[in-house]
Structure 1
Amino acid sequence: MDAAEETQHVEVEAEGRVVASADVVAADSSAVAALHVEPGHLPPGTRSKLVDAVLDAPAVAAADRLTTAGPAGDVEVAQRVRERLDDVEARRAGATTFHDGTVPHD
């Protein structure tokens, strides 16, 4: 790993177990987050909480751009990314959807 890169791991827990997680890698003014959501029934809002945890990570807060990679067809993730980022573009590659957007700095 390059010295300019920083990796962070975020998790969402429910009932004492990890139900969603992401690895976030930041370099220069951009960040990339690989999202993972456990299969099966999950508490409502789990995916939104994961997106929020990623956006609240220090590596993303310091970035200008964020790319997320997550399961294709995950409507809750897509909606929350569009709520939290500006100028979001989505593209699909196989079973993965990528969302690229600008991190707002209020």
Structure 2
Amino acid sequence: MSSEWGADVPDRSFVVLGGRTVSGHDLDAVSLIVTERDDTAGLGLEEAAIVRMCASPTGVVEIASRLQLPVGMAQVLISGLLDQNRVTARHPHATSASPHDAALLRKVLVGLHHL
């Protein structure tokens, strides 16, 4: 079947991202996104949805899932909102304890026994 539109029709990702292809921010998949300004004037449908859903902290992966978009596309949209100061990102913090820290493992084991 041939399309009457031809090959010049942009795909959904190009339209949703407004031609942007790269996130200008280092967003981890588990970074939490929080709305700073709930004004959605001038935003696309997906960007406005992100602003509304991030009234409470929401992870990048969850945003992508709710919008049914690949994580990379969600990161580009979120990056644009960060540039506009509409949202902020809270990045996960690494713990100083080694994953094999014996004291930490003992505390976890004691906690599990108390359950």
Q: TM-score, normalised by structure 1?
A: 0.26
Structure number with the higher helix fraction is: 2
Task: Answer 1 or 2: which has greater strand percent.
Answer: 1
Higher relative contact order (CA 8 A, sep 6+): 2
TM-score of the superposition, structure 2-length normalised? 0.25
